[in-house]
Amino acid sequence: MWQEVEEFKGAEYFHKALFEKLVEESMKNIEMLKNAHAKGLPVPKCHTQERTFNSPKIYSNLSPNDLVLYITRGVNLPPPSGVSPNDLDASIKFEFPFPSSEEPQRDKTGTVKGTSSPEFKEQFRLNISRTHRGFKRVIQSKGIKFEVVHKGGLFKTDKVVGTAQLKLEALENHCDIREIIEVMDGRKATGGKLEVMVKIREPLSGVDLQPTTEKWYVLEPVSSLSPPEKQKEQAPSPRSKPKHESSSRTSHPDNSPPQYNLHSFSLLNYDKERLERKFADYRKNHREPPSDLIHQHREVIHRLQWQKAQLERGSPALLTEYEHVLRRFVQGLSESVKKYSSQGNREAAKDALGRLKMVENELESLKRKRTG
């Protein structure tokens, strides 16, 4: 567990603030439960929200100097001349040109007989050096070469019937690559394919983030009075104030969930992605993102989660209000497109037009759901 915690610390900067906020919220919920139990109150009401987190993907079972190659299967591999597909006895040889082209790492699968679509399901652990200049050249321009070999019989040598190559540039930003690559005869496609995969511990630069959606319990605020005290307060008294006066003094608890106005999901997601691209630029330049950027990202995520929780209840009145909100966005963005176009501001007009199309699609989707 502690190893996973340490690995998680390598995630993007902005997630730190988000998770600190979630920890704070969880501690408040724990205190609410404790207080309710101590005062004999019922368990507070709660509802669930779906919250999506971008978690760093990492293969903790691999060392930084491991690259694992999986040769999974072949599909319609070409037989040599004079051999039928059902008589193909295939194996796969590969060459990984590291530490150098003169001293590559080589190996091969076992032979699968009597089929042109063999299942190999073999893996090979190769050595890499993430900071080695030669390794970077392999990643950027060379990759891994494969040969499809038909096993010769008595007095016959093995015959190479096709070649393939797996490019590895994607390892810069991802910790695995799964590809189905073409088997070639020189420059001619044979129609055969080879399914392969590679894994490294973590990307060579940056973090490979994957969205994870969890159901999150949110406690609703409860009165701090115990049942007897509550009854006493509710009992009529000659000195009691009018109900509207007493209620106007009541302030909302600090731990109540934030309230927002309904918005466009597509625009919120667009803003979220735009902010995350900015974070990626900061990370690429090894700089800490400014706090206002972190705050903006956190607010967008909270708004998305809040709105999703509200609309999941499916209240007809709320859905009608949501539709009106989208219609107002369509009207406002249409006017913005006309305004920027008349001013000759092509970039602003293009941005407004892109947002307009997103909201129009969202509105059409909502109308289909409501009429369906």
CATH of the domain at 178: 2.60.40.150
- Token pair belonging to 366: 């909502």
Amino acid at residue number 249: R
- Domain housing 139: 66-200
Q: What is the tally of structural domains in the chain?
A: 2
Query: What is the pLDDT at residue 223?
Result: 54
Same domain, yes or no: 215 and 354? yes
Same domain, yes or no: 361 and 290? yes
Same domain, yes or no: 87 and 43? no
- Tell me whether residue 80 is in a domain: yes
- Tell me whether residue 44 is in a domain: yes
- Tell me whether residue 92 is in a domain: yes
Same domain, yes or no: 215 and 342? yes
Check: CB of residue 130 under 8 Å from CB of residue 204.
yes
Burial of 197 (0-12, 13-18, 19+ CB in 10 A): middle
Nearest to 63 by CA among 200, 208, 206, 207: 200
- Tell me whether residue 33 is in a domain: yes
Query: What is the pLDDT at residue 372?
Result: 66
Scanning the chain, the segments in alpha helix (DSSP H) are 2-8, 13-38, 133-137, 227-234, 243-249, 265-284, 291-312, 316-343, 346-371
Query: What is the pLDDT at residue 45?
Result: 84
- Tell me whether residue 167 is in a domain: yes
Check: CB of residue 59 under 8 Å from CB of residue 182.
no
Query: What is the pLDDT at residue 212?
Result: 78
Same domain, yes or no: 265 and 173? no
Same domain, yes or no: 102 and 156? yes
Same domain, yes or no: 27 and 113? no
User: Longest C-alpha distance within the chain, in Å?
Assistant: 113
Query: What is the pLDDT at residue 16?
Result: 64
Query: What is the pLDDT at residue 258?
Result: 53
- Tell me whether residue 235 is in a domain: no
Output the tens digit of pLDDT for each of the chain's 372 residues.
334 334 444 444 456 666 777 788 888 888 888 887 887 778 888 888 887 777 778 999 999 999 999 999 999 999 999 999 999 999 999 999 999 999 999 999 999 999 999 999 999 999 999 988 889 889 988 999 999 999 987 778 999 999 999 999 999 989 999 999 999 999 999 999 999 999 999 999 867 777 778 888 888 776 544 444 444 444 444 444 444 444 433 444 444 445 678 889 889 988 888 888 888 888 888 788 888 888 888 888 888 888 888 888 777 888 888 888 899 989 989 988 898 888 888 888 888 899 899 999 988 888 888 786
Query: What is the pLDDT at residue 59?
Result: 92
Cβ partners under 8 Å of residue 51, min gap 6: 213, 214, 216, 301, 305
- Tell me whether residue 252 is in a domain: no
Same domain, yes or no: 84 and 188? yes
Same domain, yes or no: 26 and 165? no
Same domain, yes or no: 194 and 50? no
pTM for the structure as a whole: 0.51
Query: What is the pLDDT at residue 33?
Result: 84
Same domain, yes or no: 215 and 356? yes
Same domain, yes or no: 25 and 117? no
Backbone angles phi, psi at 138, to 5 degrees: -60, -45
- Tell me whether residue 81 is in a domain: yes
